[in-house]
């Protein structure tokens, strides 16, 4: 990879030198023009030199801008070759690149009065980058594109059951939906929400209607699944919308801060400072939004509608698998539930057994104590009944002789 | 203009260095082996299915506390955070203070754990673990330290088995879930837990990870890695980072029925703090907790707000209560430099004065 940064550093040294020379030249030209009438030949040649120098400078600015762009692209590619994007901060590289290009495009780098307009022109770069990369963190839209495919496949199977008019409606909606860009920006589009609401309105009667025929249960389940999918899509639009709006708000704050820094003569030129600014503003703006009841509601509904749709979708799949020799998740769950119940009963039984064992041991101990107590009592009584001075007789047990 | 040119030059040089560090770091990452967490020596002494009770090997020669300390960590992450590296290990620090340590490892739930309940874990495994330790040491009571969700489980257990716990320590433990300070508290109110558990069964660890990342999405998903680049050339710093990274994303699947009860009864209905929580057919009354209690919380905890952890103080019947706090976040309690020197001695001294 060409070390453009080394080249860039040298270029800046040259640029400094050229600017200093030009300034001196301009000063000298001004003095000679001020005090004297000036000679047309000298003035004209100095002016032409100056224009040429400025043209050279503009050309150098353009070249360095292109070089910066190439270098970023090359470094990104190199990084990607090495790491396959595992770090995920290439968004910052793009922002930084755009930022340096914006600064580099200034006709006169010291002329900050023109900066605001130029910066505003470049904010589109930031907007697109921020949105696309930001919402990539919440990558559901990609999975949703796959789900859409499944959804249309499902519809294709089911639609013939309800006849031609319905099929025409499906075709019409499919055409409209295909026009939407299934990107985060597309998903947050208000028109997308209207599409789903209209879809729901037109199709709800078909979805909710009683089904006929031998497959009526399956058809009812398919209809339920489609309705659940549409519900999730509607909530997804709301979700993307709130994220889009917050992203725009945060981006505006970043742009404003950058402008303010430039206006104060403290333009941010450090990559790390720019990254920290972008992170800080986005984090603060999103944190504020995420604390709102509205966001909590939308997020909760997003997860709920997703789970409801996927559960129904899985049930359809499991039903289809009933014809096959494969055990499904539900089959396994039933088995595990039974095992858990048995294990719980076994544990209780063990505890009960242990309790009984303890009780038995206790009773045995008590019985033994009683026996000893009785023995001692009898022995004591016996001793009491003997006359004083009489020695205790040995108790013997006589075994009766058995008759032959 | 000259000043601006200097600035541009600095900028390009800084970025150039950044890319160089990144490249070196990538090479270091490629050459590294898997990092090891929780290396303090321990032995499995009891197990039930995937759940294991470990006993740590003593590090200190000489007098060891006569009453063992059982640590119960959360299920939502791994207990390895408490022993993440040698110089950042609450486990080692406690062992060096002469504590006789046991720890519960909840293991990695799979589909067969789909129907285990909180009762199975607390009245089942945890109770069996306590009984095991009591029998082994011929004691009637042990010391118990509960961390985060593990602290909630421990508080519930202690309330139901006061005769088995000598001293109880809760660390960054949520007790009162009513707070609106934490994002999790706010978000959980709108969660249809039944829909989630009915679909997922065991809720995947990846979903839990996403939820935690969402608490600070930009910082945790992007800025953290930019900050890393400057230290990627340093092998040791990179290893330290990777240990934390390994732990963060080592989230076990959550048994569905345990999570259902935890979210519904605690996060959403706050039953424990209200005295309405039932485990099995028994009500849990925190007022039954009458032994010495230490409540430890992190002042900058965004996960478990301090108010949620401190609520235990007013809900228990103990007369001997000590509170201890640090100006750190949730994870900082275990890994921050501010706690390394003083947290373990504080715990050990408190226990030793009460055995």
Say yes or no to pLDDT of A20 above 90.
Answer: no
**Top mean-pLDDT range of A62-76, A204-218, A289-303:** A289-303
Task: Select from B18, B126, B188, B190 the residue whose CB has the most chain A CBs within 10 Å, as the one to mutate to test that interface.
Answer: B190
pTM: 0.79
Q: How many CB atoms lie within 10 A of CB A102?
A: 21
Distance from the B78 Cα atom to the nearest Cα atom in chain A, whole angstroms: 24
Nearest to B106 by CA among B130, B82, B72: B72
Strand-pair partners of B88: B85
Span A229-242, pLDDT tens digits: 889 888 988 888 88
Cβ atoms A97, A72 nearer than 8 A: yes
Question: How far apart are the C-alpha atoms of B211 and A285, rounded to whole Å?
Answer: 18
Q: Name the DSSP class of B44.
A: E
A144 or A201, which is more confident?
Answer: A201
Chain B positions touching A8 (Cβ under 8 A) are 9, 12
Q: Which among B123, B126, B127, B226 is the top mutation candidate for probing chain A, defined by the most A β-carbons within 10 Å of its own β-carbon? A: B226
Confidence of residue A81 (pLDDT cuts 50, 70, 90): very low
Question: What DSSP string describes B274-320?
Answer: HT--EETTEE--GGG--S-EEEEEETT-SSS-HHHHHTHHHHS--S-
- Does any CB of chain A come closer than 8 Å to the CB of residue B19? yes
> Computed over its alpha carbons, how large is the radius of gyration of chain A?
43
Task: For chain A, give the percent of residues with pLDDT over 90.
Answer: 16
Cβ of B282 under 8 Å from any chain A Cβ? no
pLDDT band at A399 (very low <50, low <70, confident <90, very high): very low
pLDDT confidence band for B24 (50 / 70 / 90): confident
At A284 the pLDDT is 93
Report ipTM (2 d.p.): 0.89
pLDDT band at A99; cut points 50, 70, 90: low
**Looking at chain B, which residue has its C-alpha nearest residue A282?**
B218
Q: Which of A110, A271, A308 sits opposite B18 (nearest CB)?
A: A271
What is the pLDDT at residue A253?
Answer: 85
- Which residue is closest to B110 within chain A, CA to CA? A336
pLDDT-derived band at A7 (thresholds 50, 70, 90) equals: very low
Q: Where are the alpha helices (DSSP H) in A84-215?
A: 90-104, 115-135, 140-158, 164-179, 184-187, 190-208
DSSP-based three-state secondary structure for B282 = strand
Range with the poorest average pLDDT among A127-141, A199-213, A376-390, B16-30: A127-141
Q: Contact B132/B83 with Cβ under 8 angstroms? A: no
The SS3 of residue A88 is coil
The mean pLDDT value of chain A amounts to: 70
Taking residues B28-43, what's their average pLDDT?
90
Which among B148, B244, B258, B279 is annotated as catalytic? B148
Q: Tally the residues of chain B.
A: 355
Q: Does B16 touch chain A (CB under 8 A)?
A: yes
Looking at residue A374, its pLDDT comes to 95
Pairing state of beta strands B51-56 and B282-283?
unpaired
Residue B65 annotated in active site: no
For A24-38, the pLDDT digits (tens) are 555 555 554 444 444
* Range list of H helices, chain B: 2-31, 90-96, 118-119, 127-137, 149-160, 183-188, 193-200, 205-213, 217-218, 224-229, 235-248, 256-261, 271-274, 306-310, 312-315, 332-335, 337-340, 343-352
What the block records as the tokens of B246 is 């390994």
Q: Which of A105, A108, A97 is nearest to A5 (CA)?
A: A97
Mean pLDDT across A289-318: 91
């Amino acid at each position: 990879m060409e070390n453009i940064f080394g080249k860039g550093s040298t270029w800046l040294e040259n640029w400094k030198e050229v600017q200093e020379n030009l300034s001196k030249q301009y000063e000298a030209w001004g003095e000679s023009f001020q005090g004297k009438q000036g000679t047309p030949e000298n003035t004209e040649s100095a002016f032409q030199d100056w224009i040429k120098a400025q043209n050279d400078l503009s050309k150098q600015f353009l070249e360095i801008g292109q070089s910066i762009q190439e270098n970023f692209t090359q470094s990104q590619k190199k990084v990607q070759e090495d790491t396959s994007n595992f770090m995920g901060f290439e968004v910052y590289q793009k922002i930084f690149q755009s930022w340096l290009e914006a600064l580099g495009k200034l006709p006169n780098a010291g002329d900050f009065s023109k900066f605001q307009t130029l910066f505003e022109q470049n904010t589109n770069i930031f907007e697109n980058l921020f949105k696309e990369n930001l919402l990539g963190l919440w990558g559901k839209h990609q999975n949703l594109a796959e789900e859409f495919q499944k959804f249309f496949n499902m519809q294709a199977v089911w639609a013939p059951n309800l006849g031609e008019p319905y099929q025409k409606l499906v075709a019409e909606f499919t055409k409209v939906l295909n026009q939407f860009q299934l990107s985060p920006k597309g998903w947050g589009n208000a028109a997308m929400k209207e599409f789903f609401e209209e879809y729901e309105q037109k199709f709800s009667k078909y979805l909710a209607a009683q089904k006929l025929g031998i497959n009526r249960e399956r058809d009812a389940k398919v209809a339920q699944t489609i309705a659940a999918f549409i519900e999730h899509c509607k909530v997804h639009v709301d979700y993307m919308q709130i994220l889009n709006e917050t992203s725009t708000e945060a981006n505006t704050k970043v742009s404003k801060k950058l402008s303010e820094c430039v206006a104060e003569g403290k333009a941010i030129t450090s990559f790390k400072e720019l990254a920290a600014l972008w992170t800080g503003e986005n984090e603060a703006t999103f944190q504020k939004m995420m604390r709102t009841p509205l966001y909590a509601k939308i997020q909760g509904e997003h997860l709920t509608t997703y789970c409801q749709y996927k559960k129904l979708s899985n049930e359809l799949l499991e039903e289809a698998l009933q014809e096959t020799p494969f055990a499904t998740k539900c089959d396994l769950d039933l088995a595990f539930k039974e095992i858990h119940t048995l294990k719980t009963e076994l544990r209780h039984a063990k505890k009960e057994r242990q309790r009984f064992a303890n009780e038995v041991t206790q009773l045995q101990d008590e019985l033994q104590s009683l026996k000893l107590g009785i023995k001692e009592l009898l022995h004591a009584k016996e001793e009491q009944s003997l006359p004083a001075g009489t020695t205790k007789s040995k108790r013997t047990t006589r075994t009766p002789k058995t008759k032959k | 203009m000259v000043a601006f040119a200097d600035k541009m030059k600095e900028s390009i040089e800084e970025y150039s260095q950044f890319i160089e560090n990144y490249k070196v770091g990538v090479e270091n990452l490629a050459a590294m082996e898997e990092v090891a967490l929780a290396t303090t020596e321990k032995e499995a002494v009891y197990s039930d299915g995937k759940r294991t009770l470990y006993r740590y090997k003593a590090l200190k020669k000489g007098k060891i506390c006569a009453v063992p300390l059982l640590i119960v960590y959360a299920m939502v992450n791994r207990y390895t955070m408490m022993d993440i590296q040698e110089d950042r290990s609450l486990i080692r620090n406690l062992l060096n203070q002469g504590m006789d340590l046991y720890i519960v490892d909840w293991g990695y739930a799979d589909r067969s754990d789909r129907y285990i309940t909180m009762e199975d874990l607390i009245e089942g495994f945890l109770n069996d673990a306590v009984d095991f330790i009591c029998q082994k040491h011929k004691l009637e009571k042990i010391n118990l330290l509960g961390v985060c969700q593990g602290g909630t489980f421990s508080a519930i257990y202690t309330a139901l088995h006061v005769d088995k716990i000598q001293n109880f320590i809760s660390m960054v433990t949520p007790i009162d879930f009513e707070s609106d300070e934490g994002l999790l508290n706010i978000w959980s109110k709108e969660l249809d837990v039944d829909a989630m558990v009915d679909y997922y069964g065991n809720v995947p660890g990846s979903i839990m990870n996403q939820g935690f990342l969402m608490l600070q999405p930009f910082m945790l998903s992007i800025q953290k890695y930019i900050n890393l680049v400057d230290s990627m050339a340093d092998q040791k710093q990179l290893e330290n980072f990777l240990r934390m990274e390994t732990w963060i994303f080592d989230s076990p699947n959550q048994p569905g029925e345990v999570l259902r009860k935890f979210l519904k009864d605690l996060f959403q209905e706050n039953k424990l703090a209200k005295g309405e929580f039932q485990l099995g057919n028994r009500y849990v009354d925190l007022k039954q907790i009458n032994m010495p209690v230490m409540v430890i919380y992190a002042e900058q905890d965004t996960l478990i707000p301090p108010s949620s952890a401190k609520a235990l103080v007013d809900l228990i019947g103990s007369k001997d209560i000590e509170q201890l706090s640090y100006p750190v976040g949730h994870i900082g309690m275990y890994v921050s430099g501010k706690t390394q020197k003083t947290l373990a001695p504080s715990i050990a001294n408190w226990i030793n004065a009460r055995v």
